[in-house]
Amino acid sequence: MMRQYELVDRVRRYNPQADEVALNRAYVYAMKAHGAQKRASGDPYFSHPLEVAAILTDMKVDDATIVAAVLHDTIEDTDSTREEIDKLFGSDIGRLVDGLTKLKKLDLVSKRAAQAENFRKLLLAVVEDVRVLLVKLADRLHNMRTLHFVAPDKRARIAEETLDIYAPLAGRMGMQRMRDELDDLAFRHLMPDAYTMIAARLDDLHRKNGKIIVTIEKELTSELAARGINAKVAGRQKQPYSVWRKMERKSIAFEQLSDIFGFRVIVEEVDDCYRVVGVVHTKWAVVPGRFKDYISTPKENDYQSIHTTVVGPGRQRAELQVRTVVMHDIARNGIAAHALYKEGVIKGKESLTNESRSYQWLRRTVALLAEGATPEEFLEHTKLELFHDQVFCFTPNGRLIALPRGATPVDFAYAVHTDVGHSAVGAKINGRHAPLLSELQNGDEVEIARAEGQTPPAVWEGLVMTGKARLAIRRATRDALRAQYAALGRQIVTRAFERAGKTFAEDKLKSALPRLARTTIEDVLAAVGRGEMFSGDAVRAVYPEFMEERKPIVPRARGEAGWFGMKKAASLVFKIPGSGKPNQNSIPIHGSHGDLPVRFAPNGGAVPGDRIVGILTPGEGITIYPIQSPDLIAFDEEPERWLDVRWDIEESRHELFPARLLITAINEPGTLGTVATVIGDHAANIDNIVIKPLSADFREMTIDVEVNDLKHLNTIISRLRARPVVSKVERVNG
């Protein structure tokens, strides 16, 4: 177990001005607070916060973070209070410890809602002070190092949680060294057989190629020194989890991996990085397509380096990473190192931005909370942002847009601005027209064509790669659907007031909102449109004395034929469109893609020219039935769901409508082709066919077709009846 004097010595090595008194006071306080508590390993519990603090000294963090690490479990696991911590150590440290305490009960792989809510709390605390994240990750790292002492079921949960959340978050914050260790520790516990196999193969490969690695190190160091470049060259080997992930992602065997070994070249100046590349490319053959310049174009987590792959001695492929000392420190410690350079604790020759890109990303992510995302949506968005390699694309004016690999112009449009994404209708990639769902490549210039007033198709949600795009599309389609329900509800409520002999007025309905348990008029209208509230309730909320005099629908008698019985029943409720003059007060139906949520009867559909009835279906809008459909009898006892509707289709609108045909045909070769040809020749579409035998000579075909209107459908029926192979054709209405 680490001793107090050892911890103080580690801090003083990088910060001679460290507040030793505060460190000692935190040590004594925490040791007394934890008392005789034990860890699963049997060690005194107090050993854990000391080890967490020791991990943080490798990142060279400030005294307050070290003190918070020593105290981080006191409020959660002892009788200590926030007030006591504030009094003894100051409000800054108290706030850090309190932030960590709130996160202590995370259960990120149990119930999804709890996982999402707790993760949201984590990022909210981190965005207020990034040191919370540093302590949390160090806490998780030490827990992973001692995970073998934990019960197997709990061990698997913690390892999965680490691989799912903590390791990617460390990587997104640029803390690659910590991410690598978290990944490998989790991999070891979750897939021990795979870990053992890959680790053994790596050890065997290292024994075989050890001399080649040393040779390349010496040759490269000598070559650079001869050119006056002071550089430190070190060989490195991929970690087991990194190897396994690449094998899984590319579906390749271990023997097919070409970059297991690599070399890191550390220099003093940025100019030296490009000089090193010139030397390397002159000495060894370059592997095409493997050069990446992350110095001129840094990654979103502040990573900067030049990557190139060459064919070195023994025809061995080797990846080289070339970077400066400062870049190397930031690549290993990420946001922790960035803060130290910015504050002048460590002197670096490169100028740094006012705020790291990784922290800017974190702020943007948390800003989505203000946009009303649910915890589950927030977690989904963040996970999408955590797990990806990147491609870098440009706008026509040169703005750089970083996106996950596999991203599309739709992702690009939403990355530029949400309004650009919503209005995107086309794209040009490198000056050429391309589909909006094309996969983007590094260096692509993307231009988005826009049309105002568009709503993104709901199908885009499952095809985009970024959390921002997915969340925006989901919200836009949800808002559009709500607007449709509200528009439908407005028409229904307006007609309900007219039947009551009243005039619908929003101000009167607004005053009645408390009686309807709704906060806005739109809430009421949307609820009526969704079928969650009856229109009569809205009328009675404004006029309590109103009594609706609708008569119940009279069920059709068994002996009544055709659609006359249903027509008679329906006419008791409202005037049927088409029976005499059209009822202009009825709800106009513009089609399935109009401004109202409309669908058609599931067993036969409806087409323009049919006399139609609307049935309000909760959560689905209006279902349109032909008046002759026997399915309508199911709604006899629910008169409040019947709506007075009429067709209102523009002549210029080219939309097909569903209908169902029942055909009896001769069972001989070519019969189905004949039927399909008749339907196709008349510009109708076949949506589905079901064929069943009636006898050895006849087959029954149930065909769902899509037609323009009733005239179009009747023409097809008459043409089918004229074919010799067709015995009988009739339309199905439920």
User: Residue 117 is encoded by which pair of tokens?
Assistant: 């809510």
| E strand or H helix that includes residue 302 | none
Structure tokens at 675: 């039927």
- Structure tokens given for 369: 């909370």
What secondary structure letter does DSSP report for 164?
I
Rounded to the nearest 10 degrees, what angle do helices 521-529 and 467-499 cross at? 90
Q: How many CA atoms lie within 13 A of 652 on its CB side?
A: 0
Catalytic option among 76, 92, 160, 709: 76
CB within 8 Å of 126: residues ≥ 6 apart:
132, 133, 136, 362
Task: Give residues with Cβ within 8 angstroms of 514, minimum separation 6.
Answer: none
**Is 700 designated active site?**
no
Strand (E) positions, 277-370? Answer: 285-286, 292-293, 306-311, 317-324
* DSSP code, position 258: S
What are φ and ψ of residue 222, in 5° steps? -65, -45
- Cα–Cα distance measured from residue 602 to residue 705, given in angstroms and rounded to the nearest whole number: 13
| Token representation of residue 122 | 């984590």
Which amino acid type is present at position 304?
Q
- Cα 707 to chain centroid, rounded: 38
Amino acid at 654: H
Nearest 5 degrees, angle CA 556-CA 710-CA 627?
15
Contact in structure between 303 and 335 (CB atoms under 8 Å): no
The H or E element spanning position 591 is: none
Are 334 and 358 within 8 A, CB to CB?
Answer: yes
Gap between the Cα atoms of 233 and 252, Å rounded:
30
Q: What length does the chain have?
A: 734
Share in percent of the chain as helix, strand, coil (round to 5) = 50, 15, 35
Assess whether 181 carries a catalytic annotation.
no
- Alpha carbon distance 623, 643 (integer Å): 10
| 657 phi and psi angles, rounded to 5 deg | -120, 150
* Alpha-carbon torsion angle 504, 553, 731, 616, nearest 10: 40
Q: Are strands 621-626 and 598-600 parallel, antiparallel or unpaired?
A: parallel
Contact call for residues 416 and 402 (beta carbons, < 8 A) = no
Residue (of 20, 74, 37, 22) closest to 52 by Cα position: 74
Contact 606, 626 (CB under 8 A): yes
Q: Which of 602, 656, 596, 661 is nearest to 626 (CA)?
A: 602
DSSP string, 677-691: HHHHHTT-EEEEEEE
Q: Contact at 8 Å (CB) between 655 and 598?
A: no
Residue 726 · residue 665 · CB < 8 Å: yes
For the record, the structure tokens of 713 come out as: 């459908």
Choosing from 77, 164, 259, 523, the catalytic residue is 77
C-alpha 390/C-alpha 407 separation (Å) is 9
The SS3 assignment for 85 reads helix
Maximum Cα interatomic distance, the chain, rounded to a whole number of Å: 106
Active-site residue set: 76-77
